[in-house]
Amino acid sequence: MMKRRKAREFALQILYQYDITGHPPDDETFNGRREGSPVAGDVNDFAKDLVLGTIENIEEIDGILLSAARNWEIGRIAAVDRGILRLSIYELLFRDDIPAAVTLNEAIEIAKKYSTGESYSFING
């Protein structure tokens, strides 16, 4: 279980970079991070799947995000929170192998670690 959390945190970092720069990650992005800090192969593989799946479906994911976050523009949502929400929506929509309760719990725990004190309650809905 902790490996998957590590992968989600790694995916969040890469999505944050993508969100800020607008440059999609390439193999070097994933491999470079693995060399910079030890990331096990299975952690890297799961993170890569999450990131690439999220980016591939970003328009649909953002549409769902905006319909749920009424009166919010996508750019007004903090970048870290936006990344957590995007990853979570991707998992809920496209990863049938991950129980929804696990996805939601992971999103809240990652928000507690990487975002503000109020963010986890925003992410929780």
Distance, CA of 104 to CA of 40 (rounded, Å): 24
For the domain made up of 2-124, the CATH class stated in words is mainly alpha
| Confidence tier at 123 by pLDDT (50, 70, 90) | confident
pLDDT of residue 38: 54
Distance, CA of 7 to CA of 9 (rounded, Å): 5
SS3 31: helix
| Confidence tier at 116 by pLDDT (50, 70, 90) | confident
pLDDT of residue 69: 79
Residue 125 amino acid letter: G
Residue found by looking up tokens 């996508």 in the block: 74
- Looking at per-residue pLDDT, the higher value among 29 and 100 belongs to 100
pLDDT of 19 > 60? The answer is yes
Q: What whole-number percentage of the chain has pLDDT above 90?
A: 60
SS3 68: helix
- For the residues of 12-52, what is the DSSP string, one character each? HHHHHHHHHH-PPP-HHHHHHHHHHS---HHHHHHHHHHHH
Average pLDDT over residues 91-114: 95
